């Protein structure tokens, strides 16, 4: 891939990458770092992209894996610096910040999504982005049917999670 092709890819997929990065941090500096790290991983790994899926699916997967890896590193550093309880890291995502008109409902949804595990949060985020079950499955590494089952359970948890 040439630099020109890569620049085009980044322009086309910038919103996708930022969406994933904001799922893992609401700190603009951290989001920027995650974005840059994702770009590095895309540049390094694109030669291994076989075209078995859409480019967008590949970008989602690289961004998600980059952010998950960075989050694990951050948790390990925090835990070693602050003891055993340090594994509790707030992963609130600012993607769901509400505007003035619907603050209460959006805040409630945001808080409930933030309580989900990382994997379930990723599935919900992808579903909210209107990706198909097949695309979500390809990104997170499960079958489309399993995506449907997990989404059903996640929705029930969100409804019942007070």
Q: What is the pLDDT of residues 5-41, one digit of tens each?
A: 889 989 999 988 988 888 877 788 999 999 999 999 9
Alpha-carbon dihedral 5, 9, 14, 20, rounded to 10 degrees: -130
pLDDT confidence bin for 119, thresholds 50/70/90: confident
- The domain in which residue 85 lies consists of 1-91
Contact (CB, 8 A) for 96 and 113:
yes
Count of domains forming the chain: 2
CATH number at residue 10: 1.10.1740.10
Instruction: Please state the rounded mean pLDDT for residues 67-78.
Output: 78
Of 32, 63, 91, which residue sits at a domain end?
91
Contact (CB, 8 A) for 138 and 57:
yes
């Amino acid at each position: 891939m040439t630099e020109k092709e890569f620049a085009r890819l980044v322009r086309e997929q910038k919103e996708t990458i930022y969406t994933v990065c904001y799922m893992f941090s609401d700190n603009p500096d951290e989001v920027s770092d995650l974005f840059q790290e994702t770009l590095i991983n895309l540049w390094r790994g694109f030669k291994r992209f076989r075209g078995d899926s859409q480019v967008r699916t590949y970008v989602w997967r690289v961004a998600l894996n980059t952010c998950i890896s960075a989050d694990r590193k951050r948790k390990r550093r925090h835990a070693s610096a602050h003891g055993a309880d340090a594994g509790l890291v707030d992963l609130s995502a600012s993607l769901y910040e509400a505007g003035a008109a619907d603050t209460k409902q959006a805040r409630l949804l945001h808080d409930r999504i933030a309580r989900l595990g990382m994997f379930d949060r990723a599935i919900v985020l992808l579903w909210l982005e209107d990706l198909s079950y097949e695309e979500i499955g390809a990104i997170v590494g499960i079958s489309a049917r399993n995506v449907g089952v997990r989404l059903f359970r996640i929705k029930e948890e969100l409804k019942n999670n007070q």
